[in-house]
């Protein structure tokens, strides 16, 4: 090649392009950094434990394609979570999971400032180009629990320890009650909101207050096994594990448990970001996809009840049964959903009313 001005330009252009090629190649092999922001500790044996297990599963499945996941625990639902989100985004995390309802507004806000970072908000409803929402159809599991409660409860009275009256919790209460009343039409449900996700002593006292007033089945939407332990101690019919199998705490009282299995979703989302195919949207799988699982049945669940529970579970897996198909009355007895009509996802996600049989809390 003769040294002409044109050739020098060509070589120069190629040389200038080399680093670009380099970065591109490097970007593809650099492991994806994935961040997880949790409301509590990963040792809660429930909700947060489930997400941390999912994060680990993602790393195991995708291997070197993802970096060791960053899990930030105990992030309150307030301005502090905005700071954590921003730090995660600034430190190179390209996919961030925010695993609590109250993070919503902050996720949207931070996501606007980091358009190249993908955010996924669990149990939320606000989306944008780079903010998706994801959830699991826990209410499908609640319907299975409610069926068992309807069969086994002697007093026909159940209690439900909830954290806050958000649609996610209301949906669970309603699914449980509807299923129990299909078995026992006189079944009633009393929800108690305790305004916290993690105060085991208060959960235990709530369970005591319920049992002392004739409730013999307790379901919970808080994160720990405290209520189940009281159920075991008092020898009532029982309760249900939330988020994970809690039979170690209540071998007799745990009738079954709803197990969160977030792993497959985390693998899918991380793979989509790596492939560049990630899009915003709302993902809401349930029993069918295995994201919600029913744990082993306790010793008090007879074969007959087990069969009834399995039938409800199977019906939801193959799509022949939906707990939110009418006719459904609200707690005042007025018809809310006509026969044959099924509530849409949007209606479920904004659910702020209780079905018949629920003593509505103040």
Q: Which of 85-93, 219-227, 295-303, 310-318 is the region at the interface with other proteins (rule: CB under 8 A)?
A: 219-227
Q: Under the criterion CB under 8 A, does residue 41 sit at the interface with other proteins? A: yes
Q: Give Cα 257 distance to the centre of its chain.
A: 14
240 binds other proteins (CB under 8 A): no
Residue from 225, 241, 243, 298 touching other proteins (CB under 8 A): that is 225
User: In the set 193, 240, 262, 324, which binds other proteins (CB under 8 A)?
Assistant: 193
44 touches other proteins by CB under 8 A:
yes
As given in the structure block, the two tokens for residue 194 are: 């305790």
How far is the C-alpha of 225 from the C-alpha of 223, rounded, in Å? 7
The partner residues of 254 in beta bridges, in order of sequence, read 239
Does 43 engage in binding with other proteins (CB under 8 A)? yes
- For other proteins, the closer CB: 140 or 232: 232
In this structure, what token pair is assigned to residue 181?
């009343």
* 65, 72, 209, 311: residue in contact with other proteins (rule CB under 8 A): 209
202 binds other proteins (CB under 8 A): yes
Count of residues in contact with other proteins, rule CB under 8 A: 40
Residue from 182, 208, 283, 300 binding other proteins (CB under 8 A): 208
CB 47 within 8 A of CB 82: no
Closest CA to 148 of 254, 293, 286, 291: 254
Stretch that binds other proteins, among 57-65, 223-231, 255-263, 291-299 (CB under 8 A): 223-231
Element (H, E) at 230: helix 226-234
Q: For the CB of residue 225, give the shortest distance to other proteins in the complex, in Å.
A: 6
Nearest 5 degrees, angle CA 38-CA 245-CA 288? Answer: 85
Between CA 308 and CA 313 the distance in angstroms is: 9
Q: Please name every residue paired with 120 in a beta bridge, in sequence order, or none if there are none.
A: 97, 132
45, 135, 147, 316: residue in contact with other proteins (rule CB under 8 A):
45
Distance CA 16, CA 25 (A): 15
> Computed over its alpha carbons, how large is the radius of gyration of the chain?
24
Binding region for other proteins (CB under 8 A) out of 4-12, 20-28, 144-152, 186-194: 186-194
Would you give the binding string for other proteins spanning residues 113-152, x where CB under 8 A is met? ----------------------------------------
Q: Which is nearer to other proteins, 40 or 54 (CB)?
A: 40
Residues 73 to 92 in contact with other proteins, rule: CB under 8 A: 74
- Considering only residues 21 to 40 of the shown chain, the ones binding other proteins according to CB under 8 A are 40
198 binds other proteins (CB under 8 A): yes
Q: Would you count residue 159 as binding other proteins (CB under 8 A)?
A: yes
Q: Which residues pair with 330 in a beta bridge?
A: 355
138 contacts 322 by C-beta, under 8 angstroms: no
Cβ-based neighbour number of residue 143 at 10 Å = 29
- 46, 359, 125, 267: CA torsion to nearest 10: 30
Among residues 194, 274, 317, 337, the one that binds other proteins under rule CB under 8 A: 194
Q: Which two tokens stand for residue 65?
A: 């394609």
The whole-angstrom separation of Cα 90 and Cα 82 is 12
Residues 242-271 that bind other proteins (CB under 8 A): 248-249
Q: In the 8-state DSSP scheme, what is residue 33? A: P
Q: Which is nearer to other proteins, 77 or 205 (CB)?
A: 205
Residue 7 sits in the site that holds other proteins (CB under 8 A): no
95, 96, 132, 226: which one binds other proteins (CB under 8 A) = 226
What is the CA 200 to chain-centroid distance, rounded? 20
Q: Is 350 one of the binding residues for other proteins (CB under 8 A)?
A: no
CB of 230 to other proteins, least distance (A): 8
Burial grade of 108 (CB within 10 A; 0-12, 13-18, 19 or more): middle
Task: Fill in the DSSP letter of residue 134.
Answer: E
User: Would you tell me which residues interact with other proteins (CB under 8 A)?
Assistant: 40-41, 43-45, 74, 159, 188, 190, 192-196, 198-206, 208-210, 212-213, 215, 224-226, 229-230, 233, 248-249, 359, 361-362
């Amino acid at each position: 090649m003769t040294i002409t001005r044109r050739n020098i330009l060509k070589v120069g252009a190629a040389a200038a392009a080399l680093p670009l090629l380099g970065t591109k190649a490097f970007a593809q092999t650099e492991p994806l950094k994935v961040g997880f922001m949790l409301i509590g500790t990963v040792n809660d044996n429930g909700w947060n434990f489930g997400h941390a297990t999912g994060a680990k599963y993602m790393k195991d499945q995708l291997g070197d394609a993802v970096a060791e996941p960053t899990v930030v625990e105990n992030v309150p639902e307030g301005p502090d979570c905005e700071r954590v989100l921003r730090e995660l985004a600034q430190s190179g995390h390209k996919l961030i999971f925010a695993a609590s309802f109250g993070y919503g507004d902050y996720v949207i806000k931070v996501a606007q400032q980091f358009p190249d970072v993908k955010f996924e908000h669990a149990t939320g409803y606000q989306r944008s180009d780079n903010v998706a929402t994801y959830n699991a159809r826990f209410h499908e599991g609640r319907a299975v629990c409610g069926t068992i409660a309807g069969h086994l409860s002697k007093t026909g009275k159940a209690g439900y320890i909830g954290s806050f009256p958000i649609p996610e919790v209301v949906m669970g209460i309603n699914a449980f009650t509807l299923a129990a009343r299909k078995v026992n039409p006189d079944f009633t449900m009393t929800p108690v909101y305790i305004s916290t996700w993690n105060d085991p002593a208060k959960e235990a006292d709530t369970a005591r207050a319920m049992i002392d007033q004739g409730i013999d089945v307790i379901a919970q939407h808080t994160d720990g096994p405290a209520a189940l332990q009281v159920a075991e101690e008092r020898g009532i019919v029982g309760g249900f594990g939330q988020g994970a199998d809690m039979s170690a705490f209540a071998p007799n009282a745990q009738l079954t448990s709803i197990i969160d299995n977030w792993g497959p979703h985390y693998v899918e989302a991380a793979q989509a970001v790596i492939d560049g195919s990630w899009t915003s949207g709302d993902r809401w799988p349930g029993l069918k996809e295995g994201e919600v699982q029913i744990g082993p049945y306790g010793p008090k669940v007879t074969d007959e009840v087990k069969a009834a529970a399995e039938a409800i579970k199977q019906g939801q897996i193959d799509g022949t049964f939906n707990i939110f198909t009418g006719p459904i009355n609200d707690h005042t007895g007025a018809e809310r959903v006509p026969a044959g009509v099924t509530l849409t996802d949007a209606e479920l996600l904004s659910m702020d009313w209780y079905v018949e049989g629920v003593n509505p809390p103040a």
